[in-house]
Structure 1
């Protein structure tokens, strides 16, 4: 059953990827392997393992709905999952396998995902050109990460990973432009208000454009004041976009509030990062965790929950249990952002170990709650 649509298999393996990406962190802080190497490993697996699986589950489901192209199913979908899994196995065996083999195992997945999206560019309407461009940039970033490990290029790995997180936030901004109208309308219906809304494209374009500039600046000059001001501009653009979701009681419905929370984390992370670059005594790495651990993960949970509901033939409202995982992730993010500033000596326990446990519990709970939907036929009898 899981091989009939992309969201089923990738949303089943994504929680496992989320847990695996943080599993070594307590060892780093409490018993300690090498910090630099482990930090790069963790960052890569969060971006090119966890977030890449989320992107695959979303795109392999959304593109057929948006463009009418055929979904990837059966053997082709199994091959996609195998490519993703090969990359994860390669990184878990990093240090046992030679770096060139780890790179070879890891570099196949995103190009395969891009290949599945390219036919949709030939459609007349709703062509996903922005997703294809960002995917191409992520492919280049992943290649640069491995080339740095092989000693071929001199760009620092952390700069590549920071720019990659920014690119995923660009995708969040773009995808929200397509998802928010549907989710806001459904929320308005739930609270008995007319579902007639129109979201002008200006806010969406500004949010995406400032994040694109931020990604370029982080890669080229991460400590420049220009980068700091661009981060503040991106924070303001996300804050401005949050006003699109102000529709009375509809804002309190989970399909809207979760996106609102994700954008709030973006404002915190981008604003804090910009101020840190400009000289305020804030921890830049903590602010980046507000972006990855807070904004990106909350968006992933929102999208997974909505897609799992709609594409298994279930109507809104979302179940109340949908709040549990974002609440745990939000608490984990708050600890990871707050502890370095309030009590740096407690980082090992309260800044790393407890957030890792909360993060794992969040995705474990989501998997427990939604796996029955993902492994069963659609309740309305439709294919998919």
Structure 2
């Protein structure tokens, strides 16, 4: 990673100095609030008018609200390091963040035209993709252009959802939601394969992660193939690839693991959360065989893999990119434990001797508490300037 030596001096309010700051903060707030409101909708049987049902709103906002915010913050920060070219900051970054935030809020305003809700929701990803593509192309950092078509696919998934909500298409919500979820898993596969072994080796003296060349070469193409085949009715092939990917991710995790990670929370949260990808693929294979419900497989992906990975990455990136030591307190460790507990509870919903709604409240409560603890520790870090006096 390259630290750009900025001529600018940071101010006491540094929220818009670099992409991770507003989007990590906004993503964490939305993570807690969205699940809180989701539990309220479940208990009252209410819905969100534009989204037609509470379930559609919940899945859309967790993917295109929460997850996309974290992806945006990570990529705006990472591309700056990969290319040595400044990504959005200051007012342009604030406007991009406002575009994301307005799409979350506008749906609750009375008399808002449906076309305006759709426009605000659909505009964010193209603007983000262009802002990332410019420095990548200018620097000829073509290896990382892979993220641009992935963002384009995110836009297509969002377009499918809003096309059905505005009565231009049938089955757009189901296809778009699945596509968006699988794209997030693809992103974690790409990014996790890069950063987890790197962070592990850098964070623990003497630890060397093993990589299996055949798996590393195959796992991304196979994931892409699995993603597209899921849009067809090839059940047997989907089952085969799901179980194959579960084994690949499990082998990947085995190669990275060392007992030494148990003493470094910033490492074990990433490695343990990554295991939920293997679990998600295995459960999805059983889903296609009609052995377990699709919801359980999807929540292994979302609560376990996405929730745990984002929480761990945000905790580490926020420290490193604000010039702080990579050390966390008991508050953040507790957040990590609560997040993993939320994932275990939600993925075990049919095995626990509790009724469905009780398990939902327990899992949702653990999720909300995890993000509340993150915000308690990191809000000031994300707003205040770097410790070393640099701009960023």
* TM-score > 0.5 by shorter chain: yes
Is the counterpart of residue 371 in structure 1 residue 379 in structure 2? yes
2:96–2:124 Cα contact (<8 Å) kept: yes
Measure, in 2, the Cα distance between the counterparts of 1:2 and 1:278: 48
Superposition deviation, residue 248 in structure 1: 4.2
Q: 1:311 aligns with which of 321, 337, 355?
A: 321
Please say if residues 121 and 127 of structure 1, whose CA atoms lie closer than 8 Å, have aligned partners that are also in contact. Answer: no
CA positional deviation for 1:254: 2.2
Cα distance in 2, alignment partners of residues 69 and 202 from structure 1: 34
* CA 246–349 in structure 1, closer or farther in 2 if over 3 Å, else same: closer
SS in 1 for 2:99: helix
Kindly state the Cα deviation for residue 96 of structure 1 after the two structures are TM-superposed: 4.4
Following superposition, the deviation at residue 261 of structure 1 comes to 1.1
Could you tell me which residue of structure 1 aligns to residue 78 of structure 2? 62
> How do 1:232-243 and structure 2 match up within 5 A?
232-243=243-254
Shift in Å, 1:91: 3.3
Q: Secondary structure at the match of 1:108?
A: helix
CA–CA distance in 2 between the matches of 1:43 and 1:256?
28
Q: Contact (CA 8 Å) 2:211, 2:256: kept in 1 or not?
A: no
Provide, for residues 181-202 of structure 1, a one-character-per-residue CA deviation record: whole Å limited to 9, x for no partner. 431222223xxx2x66675665
**Residue 203 in structure 1 maps to residue 212 in structure 2:** no
Query: 2:161, 2:148 → 1: CA distance?
Result: 20
The alpha-carbon distance between structure 1 residues 41 and 237, as it changes in their structure 2 partners (threshold 3 A), is same
Counterpart residue number, 1:22: 35
2:239 paired residue number = 228
Q: 1-side partners of 2:223 and 2:247: how far apart?
A: 11
The worse-fitting range, judged by mean Cα deviation, of 102-111 and 148-157 is: 148-157
On the 8 A contact 2:246/2:282 being kept in 1, the answer is yes
Does the 8 A contact of 1:49 with 1:84 survive in 2?
Answer: yes
Write the distance in 1 (CA, Å) between the matches of 2:173 and 2:308.
25
Judged with a 3 Å threshold, the aligned counterparts in structure 2 of structure 1 residues 67 and 314 are, in CA distance, closer, same or farther, namely same
**Bigger shift: residues 206-215 or 56-65:** 206-215
Distance of 1:6 and 1:203 partners within structure 2: 32
Q: Is the 8 A contact 1:269 1:287 kept in 2?
A: yes
**1:52-201 to 2 correspondences below 5 Å:** 52-93=68-109, 96-119=111-134, 120-125=136-141, 127-189=143-205, 193=206, 199=211
Provide closer, same or farther for how the CA distance between residues 201 and 378 of structure 1 changes in structure 2, counting only shifts above 3 A.
farther
SS in 2 for 1:115: helix
Alignment of 1:281-320 (within 5 A): 282-320=292-330
Higher RCO (Cα < 8 Å, 6 or more apart):
2
SS at match of 2:169: coil
Count of residues in correspondence between the two structures? 375
Normalised by the length of structure 1, the TM-score is: 0.91
Cα distance in 2 for residues equivalent to 1:206 and 1:321: 39
Q: Deviations over 1:314-334 (max 9, x none)?
A: 233444433222221222222
* Per-residue deviation, 1:142: 0.5
Cα deviation for residue 139 of structure 1 reads: 0.7
The answer to whether the 8 A contact 2:163-2:172 is kept is no
CA deviation string 1:285-332 (max 9, x = no partner): 111011011101111011101111110112334444332222212222
CA offsets 1:21-59 (integer angstroms, 9 cap, x no match): 223332343221259711010000000000011001101
Structure 1 regions of 5+ residues with no counterpart?
none
